[in-house]
Amino acid sequence: MTELKTFKNITCTFCGALCDNIEVKVKDNKIEELKNACAISRKKYEHALKDRTSPMINGEESTYQEVIEKAAEILKNSKNPLIYGLSSTTAEAQKNAVKLAELSGANIDSTSSVCHGPGTMAKQLVGMITATLGEIKNRSDLMVFWGANPVEAHPNHSKRYTMLSEGLFKKNRSDREVIVFDVRKTPTAKMADQFIRVEPGKDFELLMALRLIIQGKKPETEAGKVAGLELAEIEAAAEKLKNARYGSIFYGMGLTMTGAKYMNTWAAMSLIRDLNNDHQRRFVMMPMRGHGNVAGSEITMAWQTGYPFAVNFSKAYPRYNPGEYTAVDLLANKEVDAAFIIASDPAGNLPKKAAAHLKDIPTIILDPHWNFTSDFADVVIPSALKGITASGTVYRMDHVPLHLRSFLEDEWPDDAAAVAQIGELIENA
């Protein structure tokens, strides 16, 4: 391939916003030019072909077939393995991973359990009122960002879906009011009409105060304050929420992983529910999901097992219990005796105690790039690059599916093929 070839409307898989308008020019199996990519995306694309993994067993160079066989052997000999990661791979690989978990009687969990999983647990309590991103672009006159900072984490989000986008009924920034609730004045807060500083760890109290005010009740205060805010300030914010016609709240890990965790999201979901009780007003909410296909990991696991994450197959049928079958707990409690990490870096991201156990047990990693986990993993399986050298399906933060088209060649098979092959070796053993 020596001619410059252009690929349009390519989907960037690096974050949950899954922008599908990337234009790539390719020559000699290299990216020559990128259009519409944000700063994060550009960096990821530029880095994509560097630092690639190769087949390794116990630190020694090996062959692809050998690492696949070794992985199957480890999982087969394990009494209680863990399959973990999944949020940066395709739905096809995720489906195969669930099958592999079933075949090997494993626990299977995604990075969701350490980011937006608590939100899913809150949904199981109260439900969730949501919309696709385009709906919010078209209709939302009030946008609230709560513990979320898309300007830095999802840079094209505001241009494509929210504040700065052109919608059907809402045409530009001036058609929308923007409020940011956060513990610090983030770059997103700087773009807002109003920034409300929440006392760290007090999101739950503030959300409940807003609920009470909207229900026409008066919240209890400490020295006239809730979550570090004067009651009058909270009442003014409640009034803004009430004046919306189609409000939206985007929430981040500032809500799901702090203080009351899933109860924070429960409070936010309950607030949104209350806000829909006025017949002229609609209100929706959306988790700002981080990894490109973390939504897909919950979706694929749910249709195969009935449950979104934290699933255990030791009884040959799926059981669900966050707190027991979640990766952090299984590792920290030293309950698992082998781990298969798919497209993730738990050594870099999980709490120390959990990550430490990975060094004590046989660990397999399937990832196109070196990371902290592959540095010590017993088996390293290389893989093609999602959305660059591998095709497949990904689900956006609002559960809209997109098909990835590959535009470069790779020497390694993709995640889906690797996982399927390991599964076949176990199934036919």
Q: Of the candidates 269, 266, 234, which has an alpha carbon nearest to the alpha carbon of residue 249?
A: 269
Q: Which of residues 57-96 bind other proteins (CB under 8 A)?
A: 91, 95
Q: Does residue 124 bind other proteins (CB under 8 A)?
A: yes
Q: Of the candidates 137, 254, 140, 234, which has an alpha carbon nearest to the alpha carbon of residue 186?
A: 254
Binding segment toward other proteins, per CB under 8 A, in 147-155, 223-231, 297-305, 366-374: 297-305
Q: Does residue 323 bind other proteins (CB under 8 A)?
A: no
Q: Does residue 137 bind other proteins (CB under 8 A)?
A: yes
Residue 333, CB-side half-sphere exposure with 13 Å CA sphere: 12
Smallest distance from other proteins to CB 319, Å: 8
Q: Does residue 320 bind other proteins (CB under 8 A)?
A: yes
Binding-residue pattern over the window 349 to 368 for other proteins, x denoting contact by CB under 8 A: --------------------
CA angle 348, 352, 357 (to 5 degrees): 95
- Choosing from 128, 380, 418, 419, the residue that interacts with other proteins (CB under 8 A) is 128
- 410-428 burial code (b ≥16 CB/10 A, e <16): bebbbbbbbbbbbbbbbee
Which is closer to other proteins, CB of 288 or CB of 355? 288
Smallest distance from other proteins to CB 415, Å: 16
| Packed helices 203-214 and 262-275: angle between N→C axes, nearest 10 degrees | 20
Which is closer to other proteins, CB of 53 or CB of 312? 312
Smallest distance from other proteins to CB 155, Å: 16
Query: How far is Cα 300 from Cα 69, in angstroms, rounded to an integer?
Result: 26
Which is closer to other proteins, CB of 284 or CB of 338? 284
Contact present, 310 and 34 (Cβ < 8 Å): no
Q: Does residue 411 bind other proteins (CB under 8 A)?
A: no
Contact present, 86 and 292 (Cβ < 8 Å): no
Which is closer to other proteins, CB of 83 or CB of 361? 83
Q: Does residue 281 bind other proteins (CB under 8 A)?
A: yes
Which is closer to other proteins, CB of 313 or CB of 340? 313
Contact present, 298 and 120 (Cβ < 8 Å): yes
Total site size for other proteins, rule CB under 8 A = 67
Query: How far is Cα 374 from Cα 67, in angstroms, rounded to an integer?
Result: 13
Q: Does residue 110 bind other proteins (CB under 8 A)?
A: no
